[in-house]
Structure 1
Amino acid sequence: MKHIVEKEWLLKHLNEENVRIIDCRFSLANPETGGTEYEEAHIPGAVYFDLEKDLSGNVSGHGGRHPLPDLDGLIEKLEKAGIGEDTTVVAYDNGEGAFAARFWWMLSYLGHNNVYVLNGGFKNWTGANYPVTAEVPVFNRASFRPAINEAILADMEEVKAISQGQTENSVLIDSREEKRYLGIEEPIDKKKGHIPGAINKPWMQGLEEGHYKPIEDQKKRFADIDPEKKVVVYCGSGVTAVPNYLALKEAGYENVKLYLGSFSDWISYEENEIE
């Protein structure tokens, strides 16, 4: 796989100077859980990045529940972690895939291409009795110069144009589970339903027991979508859509964007329709 590494690879390269490991464990239900888990035990050399403190900005009127973070602050933390332009970075979560993928996407947005997600996450690592530690590493500061890749980020206006059929050869994917897509159930956001015109490809169907399914399986999931089309993925707040983004890239789709504000941003505009 192009953007995913296995635990055996990471174990082999664990102590290499040019490899950095990022712990992204998080619980949407209890935001402090990930940091606590990191303090108790993590992969040796791993630095903790918090979904809401490091990988998201402050919530405001628009932008959704997990908007873009302050990029200067994020870059500052990357540099403190010893991450420079040539560093190989591997992110992991507990095996959900979404939190590590959010970090992977953020670094891709900053123009850092040598970044990967650990398949199976921390649970798969510990399940193999691989080493863990409570020691918090300290690295020499690196220099990280971003090259923002706007081509992978979609905003509300672009999504609206696709929704209204104004943009040809474009597909909008709602990555949430079917009950939320259909508006049968909405446990988080203030409105139910989905962005008009979006098709449903639940993100969790791209994983099995914490592992991303093989490339051929991902291709079958998206077989009804022309690889030549532009694809924009969204979810509730721009986190669980990223596993679909990653899966699409693995399946060979080149023109893929993340609507980072997602449904929580869409519904913040009263004039936007909901299906």
Structure 2
Amino acid sequence: MTIKTLISVDELSSLLGGRDLVVLDCRFYLTDLEKGARVYQESHIPGAIFVDLHTQLAGTETEFTGRHPLPLEVEFSEQLASWGIDPNSQIVVYDDMGGAFAARAWWMLAQQGLSVRVLDGGFPEWRRSEKQVTVDVPDVALSKDKIEVSYPWLIQEDQIVSNFESNQYILIDARMQDRFNGENENMDPVAGHIPGALNRPFFDNLNEQQVFKSEEQLKGEFEVLLNAEHNVDIEDSSSVSSLVHYCGSGVTACHNVLAMNQVGIEAKYVYVGSWSQWAKRMVKMMESH
């Protein structure tokens, strides 16, 4: 299945007002969980619905999960209905961080078989292009045609553990290099990365304007990354099916999945627990010795 990825501001502008269009504003700030709602109220793309990543694109963190576990399937199904999403919806998601958070919504929606794209450049690009903004909050009719939610692209912790013996997966860590190297860790109790993982900071997918790099440039960079240690042929779907992405809490990992699909690499899988779950595992191991 070919997965849709990006949409330009001009393309989205031409679609506004369409009957099946659903626009989701996914702006999110990890150090200020209320800021996303505030900036949405100040201005947003006409018709956009505010989505709270922390509570609507994630379940409740426990001692056994990462920071942003997936919501229960039945709860996310209800959430989709509340946004007016049905199987015919044409969904566009955006943020103001180059797609870092919108990509999580995209990944969750795409695996339901829905048509969803990320606004390239997000809200900043929309403003730079002098497109219309509003403070009006849309009235959303509850969808009567509910989506039956499942998460076939989710990788669990036990699969990562068993991978040390099976070597089934190639792990790609989307965090910045200093966190990957264990040089800077202000979020989790243990620094470092899962042994054997490659590092592809999600921000490397973007140019200085936080717009995605050209497909040619992205494809070349992924080819270098995967050939360096694993000799993966990015044109071979059976070869790239082993790729599993992770990050701090299963959010920005989705950005690398998006970027790979943008250049025709069939990426899907995310270890959602990511380093925030793995670090808890490491702490328990240290405490037991």
The residue that corresponds to 2:219 in the other structure is 219
Between the two proteins, what is the percent identity of the paired residues?
Answer: 36
Q: Deviations over 1:83-115 (max 9, x none)?
A: 101100000001331111011111123x13301
Compute the TM-score of the two structures, normalised by the length of structure 2: 0.88
- Does structure 1 retain, via aligned residues, the 8 Å contact 2:172–2:197? yes
Task: Give 1:207-246 correspondences, 5 Å limit.
Answer: 207-208=206-207, 209-224=209-224, 225=226, 226=232, 227=234, 228-229=239-240, 230-246=242-258
SS at match of 1:37: helix
- Does structure 1 retain, via aligned residues, the 8 Å contact 2:245–2:256? yes
Question: Which consecutive unaligned segments of at least 5 residues does structure 2 have?
Answer: 227-231
Q: Which moved more, 1:206-215 or 1:51-60?
A: 206-215
Question: Which consecutive unaligned segments of at least 5 residues does structure 1 have?
Answer: none
Residue 37 in structure 1 maps to residue 75 in structure 2: no
- Does structure 1 retain, via aligned residues, the 8 Å contact 2:76–2:149? no
- C-alpha displacement at 1:126, in angstroms? 1.2
Aligned residues: 268
- C-alpha displacement at 1:81, in angstroms? 2.0
Q: Deviations over 1:35-65 (max 9, x none)?
A: 0011111101000110111111111011201
CA gap 1:37/1:245 in 2 versus in 1, 3 angstroms: same
SS at match of 1:104: helix
The residue that corresponds to 1:121 in the other structure is 122
- Does structure 2 retain, via aligned residues, the 8 Å contact 1:107–1:113? yes
- C-alpha displacement at 1:218, in angstroms? 1.6
The residue that corresponds to 1:148 in the other structure is 150
- Does structure 1 retain, via aligned residues, the 8 Å contact 2:96–2:121? yes
Q: Deviations over 1:184-204 (max 9, x none)?
A: 111111001100010111110
SS at match of 1:172: strand
The residue that corresponds to 1:186 in the other structure is 185
Cα distance in 2 between the residues matched to 1:17 and 1:155: 37
Compute the TM-score of the two structures, normalised by the length of structure 1: 0.92
Q: Deviations over 1:161-188 (max 9, x none)?
A: 33x24224x3111111111111111111
Give the one of 236, 249, 254 matched to 2:261.
249
The residue that corresponds to 2:175 in the other structure is 176
SS at match of 2:259: helix
Cα distance in 2 between the residues matched to 1:114 and 1:103: 12
Greater share of helix: 2
Cα distance in 2 between the residues matched to 1:255 and 1:82: 28
